[in-house]
Amino acid sequence: MNPKRKQRLLLILAMIAAVFVAVALAMYSLSQSINLFKTPTQIANGEAEPGQTIRAGGLVVEGSVQRDSVGLGVRFNVTDGQSEVTIFYDGILPDLFREGQGIVALGSVDQSGLFTASQVLAKHDENYMPPEVMQALEEANARHSEASPEVHQSPASPEVAD
């Protein structure tokens, strides 16, 4: 084989290897920075690995907000209509945070199932709900209505007892 041809082949192979390594490093980096969204039902079912950074969202349960007497810590429950997850956040909550409103929290679940948030985001006006939260609530309501169908009577045709 010609020495120049051999050099050219080695150069092409080195370039292919370098591209492969660059793509592999980029894929690894991207996989480490993805924060998956999990519903309270998925978290309660153990679908979130302890220590994995995820986003969790739902509606803040009425009467569940408990503030620490010392510091900025707050503990509250979030629901998707089926399950509830307790979230602990040590920081200043958004001004629009309140019970009954949709939130998304970034953080991780520990071994006991407590979600420790590093960031809490609240909706920005009364008509907005994060898309993931809205979809999770709609799916939970659909599953709930399939599991327990109700019989509805039409007000125009009441039953008449004989």
Query: According to the annotation, is 124 in a ligand binding site?
Result: yes
Residue pair 81/141 in contact by the 8 Å Cβ criterion: yes
How many helices (H) does the chain have, and how many strands (E)?
A: 3, 7
Beta bridge partners of 117: 89, 107
CA dihedral sign, ordered 38, 41, 47, 52: positive
CA distance 47 to 54: 11
- Report the C-alpha dihedral over residues 90, 35, 50, 89, rounded to 10 degrees: 10
Query: According to the annotation, is 89 in a ligand binding site?
Result: no
Beta bridge partners of 84: 79
Name residue 121's amino acid: L
Q: What is the DSSP letter of 7?
A: H
SS3 content of the chain, % helix, strand, coil (to 5): 30, 25, 40
Q: Which residues are annotated as a binding site for heme?
A: 124, 128
